[in-house]
C-alpha cells in the first residue's frame, strides 16, 4: 500500500514538473502573404538562462515606463472616405480599430480646426480682433469631425482624446494667413506671397497681450464646446510641429515665446475655467533638445505642463529629454507618414520608429491617418500612407501592413502595461500587462527565417520566425 502511495506521489510531482516545463505561449504572426495568423501554441522549456546562449533575455521583474496606449488621428478627409460606404461597413472598420478584438486603439488625436487633412483652411473664429470670442463656434465640426469621433466613441466609450492646433485664426498671426509658406491648395495658389512667408522659425503669432489672451480664451472655449458635445479632451498640445513652415495651416513659436504664452495666458485661463484637460508641450518636431529644455526650465510655465509630445525629427532629442525630465509623461504624437508607398517596407520603418521611441521612454504611440481613400492625398497635395483605405468609387477596403504592425502591439499591450527590460536589440520589445500577461513583440526584417532563443527567468523559448515577419508572443 505504501509503495502504491509513493508511486502516486511520484506521478503528481512529475505532472507538476511537466506542467511548468510546458507553459503555453500564444503566437500570432504576420507576413506580407499571410497577415494575422494564429500559429500553433508553443511552450517554454525549463532551462537556466544564459547571456551566452539566449539572443533575447526578458527581465520580468525589471519594469520600465508605463504604457498609456496606442492610436491615430481623426481627420476630415478620413471621415469623407468612410461616408462613401454603408454604415455596417463603416462600423466594421471602426471595430477593427477600436475594439479589443481588433487593434484596440485607446488614445486618439484630433485637430483644433484646420490641419493638412482638412478639406480647407478654417478656424472657430475668423472675425478679426474679436478678442472676447463672441463669434466663436464649432459648427463646421458638428458635420464632419464630431460625427467621426462619436462613431468611434459608440464602439469604445472609454477612448481618450487629445487635440492640437495647426494654426491659430489667421488674424492672430503676423502674416495674417493660416500658412507660413507659399504653395498650392486644391491646385490653386494658397495666397501666401514671398513677402508674407515665415521660414526662419521665428514666432509667427502676434505676441501682443490682447492676442495672447484672446488665443488662450479661444483654446479654452474649444475644450468647453467639445465637452458640451459629450467629448471630453484629456490633453491639449499647444502647437503642432512648432518649428515647421509648410503651405498648410501652421504656426512657428520660439521656445521663449511659447513658454510665455503658457505661463501668462493659457495656464491661467485653463485654471480660471476649471478645465481638467491637461496642457502638454508639443508637438515638438525639432532635433535640438534645447527647445524642450527652454520651456520646461521655465518654472512658471512648467507648473502648467503635464507632458511632452514629440514627432518626426524630435526622435533625435527624445532619448535625452526623457532622462533629463523623468517627471513628465511622453507621447510620440504622429508616426512618420511616408509618401504613399503603403508597403511592407513602410511597416518595417514604422516598427523601427516604435522600437526607438518606446526604448527612449515614451508612454504612448500615435499613428497619423487611420483611414483615407487609396490615393492618400491631402488637400495640399502631399500623398501619404494610411492604415486602412476606402475606395469611394469601388467601395473596396484595404488593410495595409502598417495596420498590422500597430495591431501586433496595440491588440496585446493593455493600457497600464509596463515595458520590461530586455537584453536589448532593435528586433523586439517586451511588456507585462496589468493582468500579469507577458508580451513579446519580435520582428524579423531579414530575407531568411531566423531562429531565436528567448530566456525568461528559469525557462527558455526556442522559436524560428519567418523571413520578413511580425510576431507577438503572449503568456501568463
Q: How many C-beta atoms lie closer than 10 Å to residue 303's C-beta?
A: 10
CB-CB neighbours of 139 under 10 Å? 8
Q: Cell for 56?
A: 533575447
Q: Quick one: pLDDT at residue 458?
A: 85
Give 345-382 pLDDT, tens digit per residue. 999 999 999 999 999 999 999 999 999 999 999 999 99
pLDDT band, very low/low/confident/very high, at 13 (cuts 50, 70, 90): very low
Q: Which of 143, 133, 141, 69 is nearest to 110 (CA)?
A: 141
Rounded CA separation 205/294 (Å): 18
- pLDDT reading at 286 higher than 50: yes
Query: Alpha helices, DSSP H only, in 126-180?
Result: 145-155
With cell 525557462, the residue in question is 459
Q: Residue 22 — very low, low, confident or very high, per pLDDT cuts 50/70/90?
A: low
- Output the nine-digit C-alpha cell for 177: 494667413
Q: Is 419 exposed, middle or buried (0-12, 13-18, 19+ CB in 10 A)?
A: buried
Helix H segments across 375-444?
Answer: 401-410
* Domains observed in the chain: 26-64+421-475 (2.60.40.1180), 68-412 (3.20.20.80)
Site of grid cell 507648473: 303
| Across 34-48, average pLDDT | 89
Radius of gyration over alpha carbons of the chain, in Å?
A: 25
Q: Between residues 211 and 16, which one has the greater pLDDT?
A: 211
Which pLDDT value is given to residue 11? 31
Q: What pLDDT does residue 49 have?
A: 52
Helices and strands, counts by H and E, the chain: 12, 23
Predicted pLDDT of residue 5: 42
The pLDDT of residue 20 is 41
d(CA 190, CA 184): 5
CA dist., res. 143 & res. 79, Å (int):
10
Q: How far are the Cα atoms of 82, 96, 275, 403, 435 from residue 105, in angstroms, in the given order?
A: 18, 9, 25, 11, 18
Alpha helices of 240-332 — where are they, by DSSP H? 255-261, 267-272, 290-296, 299-302, 318-324
pLDDT of residue 2: 45
Using the predicted structure, report yes or no on whether residue 386 has a pLDDT greater than 90. yes
Question: Which residue, 173, 368, 309, is CA-closest to 253?
Answer: 173
Q: Is the pLDDT of residue 45 over 90?
A: no
Contacts of 89 (CB under 8 A, 6+ apart): 395, 397
20 neighbors 457 (Cβ within 8 angstroms):
no
> Are the C-beta atoms of residues 271 and 199 closer than 8 Å to each other?
no
Amino acid at each position: 500500500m505504501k509503495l502504491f502511495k509513493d508511486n502516486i506521489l511520484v506521478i503528481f510531482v512529475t505532472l507538476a514538473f511537466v506542467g511548468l516545463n510546458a507553459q503555453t505561449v500564444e503566437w500570432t504572426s504576420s507576413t506580407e502573404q499571410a497577415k494575422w495568423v494564429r500559429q500553433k501554441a508553443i511552450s517554454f522549456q525549463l532551462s537556466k538562462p544564459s547571456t551566452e546562449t539566449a539572443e533575447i533575455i526578458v527581465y520580468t521583474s525589471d519594469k520600465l515606463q508605463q504604457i498609456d496606449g496606442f492610436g491615430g488621428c481623426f481627420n476630415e478627409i478620413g471621415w469623407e472616405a468612410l461616408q462613401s460606404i454603408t454604415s455596417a461597413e463603416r462600423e466594421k472598420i471602426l471595430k477593427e480599430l477600436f475594439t479589443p478584438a481588433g487593434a484596440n486603439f485607446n488614445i486618439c488625436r484630433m485637430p483644433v480646426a484646420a490641419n493638412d487633412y482638412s478639406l480647407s483652411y478654417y478656424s472657430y473664429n475668423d472675425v478679426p480682433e474679436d478678442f472676447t470670442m463672441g463669434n466663436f463656434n464649432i459648427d463646421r465640426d458638428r458635420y464632419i469631425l464630431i460625427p467621426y469621433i462619436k462613431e468611434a466613441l459608440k464602439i469604445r466609450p472609454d477612448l481618450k482624446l487629445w487635440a492640437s492646433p495647426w494654426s491659430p485664426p489667421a488674424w492672430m498671426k503676423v502674416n495674417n494667413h493660416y500658412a507660413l509658406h507659399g504653395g498650392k491648395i486644391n491646385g490653386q495658389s494658397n495666397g501666401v506671397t514671398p513677402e508674407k512667408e515665415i521660414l526662419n522659425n521665428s514666432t509667427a503669432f502676434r505676441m501682443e497681450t490682447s492676442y495672447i489672451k484672446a488665443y488662450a480664451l479661444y483654446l479654452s472655449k474649444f475644450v468647453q464646446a467639445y465637452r458640451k458635445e459629450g467629448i471630453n479632451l484629456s490633453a491639449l498640445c499647444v502647437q503642432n510641429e512648432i518649428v515647421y513652415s509648410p503651405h498648410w495651416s501652421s504656426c512657428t513659436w520660439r521656445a521663449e515665446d511659447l513658454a510665455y504664452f503658457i505661463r501668462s495666458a493659457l495656464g491661467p485661463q485653463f485654471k480660471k475655467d476649471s478645465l481638467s484637460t491637461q496642457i502638454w508641450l508639443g508637438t515638438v518636431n525639432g532635433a535640438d533638445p534645447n527647445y524642450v529644455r527652454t520651456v520646461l526650465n521655465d518654472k512658471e510655465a512648467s507648473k502648467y505642463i503635464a507632458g511632452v509630445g514629440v514627432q518626426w525629427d524630435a526622435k533625435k532629442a527624445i532619448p535625452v529629454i526623457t532622462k533629463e525630465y523623468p517627471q513628465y509623461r511622453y507621447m510620440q504624437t504622429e508616426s512618420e507618414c511616408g509618401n504613399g508607398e503603403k508597403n511592407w517596407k513602410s511597416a518595417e520603418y514604422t516598427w523601427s520608429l516604435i522600437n526607438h521611441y518606446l526604448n527612449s521612454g515614451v508612454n504612448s504611440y500615435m499613428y497619423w491617418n487611420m483611414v483615407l481613400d487609396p490615393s492618400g492625398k491631402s488637400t495640399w497635395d502631399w500623398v501619404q500612407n494610411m492604415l486602412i483605405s476606402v475606395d469611394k468609387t469601388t467601395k473596396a477596403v484595404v488593410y495595409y501592413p502598417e495596420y498590422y504592425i500597430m495591431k501586433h502591439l496595440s491588440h496585446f499591450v493593455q493600457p497600464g502595461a509596463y515595458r520590461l527590460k530586455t537584453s536589448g536589440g532593435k528586433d523586439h520589445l517586451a511588456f507585462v500587462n496589468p493582468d500579469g500577461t507577458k508580451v513579446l513583440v519580435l520582428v524579423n526584417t531579414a530575407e531568411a527565417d531566423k531562429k531565436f532563443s528567448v530566456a525568461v527567468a528559469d525557462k527558455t523559448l526556442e522559436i524560428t520566425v519567418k523571413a520578413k515577419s511580425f510576431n507577438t508572443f503572449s503568456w501568463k
